[in-house]
Amino acid sequence: MLEKMEAIFDPERVIEEFEAMTKDAGRLQKETLRKILEQNGKTEYLQKWGLDGKTDPLSFTRCVPLVSHDDLEPYIRRIVEGDDSPILTKNPIKTISLSSGTTQGKPKFIPFNDELVESTMQIFTTSYAFRNRLFPLRNGKALQFIYGSKQFQTQGGLAAGTATTNVFRSPQFHKTMKAIHALCCSPDEVIFGPDFQQSLYCHLLCGLIYRYDVQVVSSTFAHSIVHAFKTFEQVWEEICADIRDGVLTSRVTDPTIRTAIAKLLKPNPELASLIHDVCSGLSNWYGLIPALFPNAKYIYGIMTGSMELYVNKLRHYAADLPLLSADYGSSEGWIGANVNPCLPPESATFAVLPNIGYFEFIPLKDISDFVSSEPKPVGMTEVNVGEEYEIIVTNFAGMYRYRLGDVVKVMGFHNATPELQFVCRRNLLLNINIDKNTEKDLQLSVQTAEKLLAAEKLEVVDFTSHVDLSTEPGHYVIFWEMSGEANDEVLKECCNCLDRSFVDAGYMGSRKVKTIGPLELRVLRRGTFHEILDHFIAMGGALSQFKTPRSVSSKNSKVLQILCNNVVKSYLSTAYD
């Protein structure tokens, strides 16, 4: 499909191919598994499990066990160290992706190959084709807040970088963007700049230079878009000066970025005055994005899961401009495309592409199934609407029956392929006694308590949690950073509300009999989560891949230390006294 697309991109043809593929999802799943096993059947890992050339789903699931990343880590470590024998894949792995590392405190190494790039482009073009039906783009530009962190060489000589960096550096990515006429405003020197703050500033500047051409504002995650326009609030006058004089600010020091921007930036006093008038006329920056980019048609990025917190702030900047949630995947590989772009981010669903991997689903009919020792997966076409599952992935990059750790709900079917809604991360469980609260439970609790701040015209900027077992009994700690200061009475009630909003029976019962202690709300100094972001960038991460960890364990000691060092107020719940 990509070869055809490079010549001319026909969205309707892409949709026709998708429709045909999803009508035949069951057969394609078997065919995809057969291709994966035929291609990689001679690898050390698969030979270990005695498949003996079998490629059918029944033999595969009987012979090959379910695994986590820890199970595959020894094999991946050998690849990273330079062993190019067929360990997980027939063809040697030449590139390694790094996961964000925000949850565990260190990134995971994940094999990356051309097949993952191909599936990325397929997901991208599929969802773009459906978006194009609603919001056709005509020779416009995209203001993309994307950042390619540096690649480095592993001790075995492999190129390593974030998954987004590996995609952005691939020739297929540039060909795809060119084919759909949505070229990024910023030159590559900005995308791959060595300092993300300099790159961010120049993304904003380039977007304003092409102000009338911008039809899409996007980033990998909603957080990056919100962060970009929060930054704009601080630097807009400096950007206006750059545009007026045609000279880039001295804050951008990288010579390659300065040279690239010099080719675009010319004195334009009229544009500078216009932007100054726009910004001066806004009330609390409401509607900033359409005011700056009058021809923008939508805002695009991942807005589900841990990104839901930023949707309200994004709506503030967007006013009536539609928010469209991007596709569903992970560092290990892609799963589904958003083919219902009219749905709001909170209701976004993702249709599984049956030819990019083999997918299994562990039913989770009860919260106890989250820790079940004997999961029994079902096939992709055997799932039931309305039920929740954990996803198992087998793909062309050496992930075999890999427990991704995501919990999804089946919302329906697109032809014969399921449409999934992301629920939470399976391994993010707040648990002390018999309580089991998920990331979604935490988010709902914070959203409920945040409503008490509305009268104060305040909002929660960001939040995370921690299970504190240093006291007896243990208790939940919620860290949050606010947009301003609230009085003690309001914060005490917020703390009680947080405690009451965890409605898991195990939690409520444990609180009543005092086997779990009072919830603690710790209010953070302004800028704390920016400090965590800086720490993440210093670890080699890219801003476009950053996700605030919603639960911080003692293993992630550096992030926990940053949080604890920035606490300005602390409150204990009296909700169960």
DSSP run (H or E) holding 46: helix 44-48
Give, for all 577 residues of the chain, the pLDDT tens digit.
334 434 457 889 999 999 999 999 999 999 999 999 999 999 999 999 988 889 999 999 999 999 998 999 999 999 888 888 999 999 888 888 877 655 555 678 888 888 888 888 889 889 999 998 999 887 788 999 988 766 677 777 877 777 777 777 777 776 766 566 557 899 989 988 888 889 999 999 999 999 999 999 999 888 889 999 999 999 999 999 999 999 999 999 999 999 999 999 999 999 999 999 999 999 889 999 999 999 999 999 989 877 887 888 899 999 999 999 999 988 788 899 999 999 999 899 999 999 999 999 999 875 455 555 567 899 999 999 999 999 999 999 999 999 988 889 999 999 999 999 988 777 667 888 777 888 888 888 998 998 898 888 888 888 999 999 888 899 999 999 998 888 999 999 999 999 999 988 888 888 888 889 999 999 999 989 888 888 877 776 666 667 788 888 877 778 889 999 999 999 999 988 8
- State how far the Cα of 98 lies from the Cα of 106, in Å rounded to an integer: 9
- Within 8 A by CB and 6+ apart from 95, the residues are 112, 113, 158, 159, 160, 161, 166
Tokens of 344: 């709001």
Q: At what angle do helices 11-23 and 25-40 cross, to 10 degrees?
A: 90
Q: ω into residue 518 within 30 of 0, thus cis?
A: no
Residue 353 · residue 123 · CB < 8 Å:
yes
- State how far the Cα of 84 lies from the Cα of 92, in Å rounded to an integer: 5
- State how far the Cα of 406 lies from the Cα of 440, in Å rounded to an integer: 12
- State how far the Cα of 378 lies from the Cα of 421, in Å rounded to an integer: 18
> What pTM did the predictor assign?
0.82
What's the sign of the alpha-carbon dihedral 372, 329, 132, 299? positive
Q: Where are the domains of the chain?
A: 11-91+358-425, 136-155+173-321, 439-572
Residue 103 · residue 549 · CB < 8 Å:
yes
Per-residue CA distances from 232 to 196, 205, 228, 266, 283 (Å):
14, 10, 6, 20, 15
